[in-house]
């Protein structure tokens, strides 16, 4: 092989290795505790009426945790029409975390539940109907 061919092979191998690392490296996750702090932690939340097999409404949250106080934003990402938060963009989220108990307030709806690791789940009453909800740390489509 000539000198330029060797350099081209090295260059291509370098790009291949870099691309592989991007796709196989683990996603960053945040350890969230009631007494700690973390900023801009992404969550995907889904919710649907209790005992329903309907496709859930979906939202993306970016939450800040500061010694039990939760703040952040919610954005509607539902493909299903009729979401209680249809077309919401960067709506404020407030709430709290005490032990494993969590509550999130989006507009005038309080989502109550528990938090375990990177997951939250519970119930909320929206327009007189009880909904069950679950949230997972990560971005939409990340699979984490």
- What per-residue confidence (pLDDT) applies to 144? 55
- Show Cβ contacts of residue 59 under 8 Å, excluding neighbours closer than 6 positions: 44, 45, 46, 74, 75, 76, 77, 78, 85, 88, 106
**Which residues make Cβ contacts (< 8 Å) with residue 35, sequence separation at least 6?**
67, 68
Q: pLDDT (tens digit, 9 = 90+) per residue, 7-31? A: 444 434 443 333 333 333 344 455 5
**CB 15 within 8 Å of CB 24:** no
79 φ, ψ (degrees, to nearest 5): -95, -20
Which pLDDT score, from 0 to 100, does residue 131 have?
Answer: 97
Judged by DSSP in three states, 19 sits in helix
Which residues touch 78 (CB under 8 Å, ≥6 apart)?
57, 58, 59, 86
103-122 mean pLDDT = 97
| Integer Cα distance of 18 and 20 in angstroms | 5
pLDDT of residue 34: 59
The pLDDT tens digits of the residues spanning 60-98 come to 999 999 999 999 999 999 988 999 999 999 999 999 999
- pLDDT band (50, 70, 90) for residue 42: very high
Domain ranges in the chain are 37-137
pLDDT value at 136 more than 90:
yes
pTM summary value: 0.75
CATH of segment(s) 37-137? 2.40.128.120
Greater model confidence, 80 or 143: 80
What is the number of alpha carbons within 13 Å of residue 69 lying toward its C-beta?
Answer: 3
- The confidence score (pLDDT) of residue 1 equals 55
**Contact criterion met (CB below 8 Å) for 57 and 78:** yes
Strand intervals (E) in the chain: 37-49, 57-66, 69-76, 91-98, 101-106, 109-116, 119-126, 129-137
């Amino acid at each position: 092989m000539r000198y330029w061919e060797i350099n081209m092979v090295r260059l291509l191998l370098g790009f291949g290795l870099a691309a592989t690392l991007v796709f196989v490296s683990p996603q960053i996750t945040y350890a969230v505790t009631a007494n700690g702090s973390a900023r801009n932690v992404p969550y995907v939340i889904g919710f649907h009426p209790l005992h329903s097999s309907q496709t859930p409404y979906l939202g993306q949250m970016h939450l800040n945790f500061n010694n039990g106080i939760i703040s952040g934003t919610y954005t509607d990402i539902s493909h299903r029409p009729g979401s209680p938060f249809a077309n919401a963009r960067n709506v404020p989220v407030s709430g709290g975390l005490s032990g494993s108990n969590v509550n999130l307030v989006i507009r005038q709806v309080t989502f109550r539940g528990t938090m375990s690791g990177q997951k939250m789940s519970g119930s909320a009453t929206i327009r007189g109907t009880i909904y069950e909800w679950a949230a997972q740390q990560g971005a939409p489509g990340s699979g984490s």
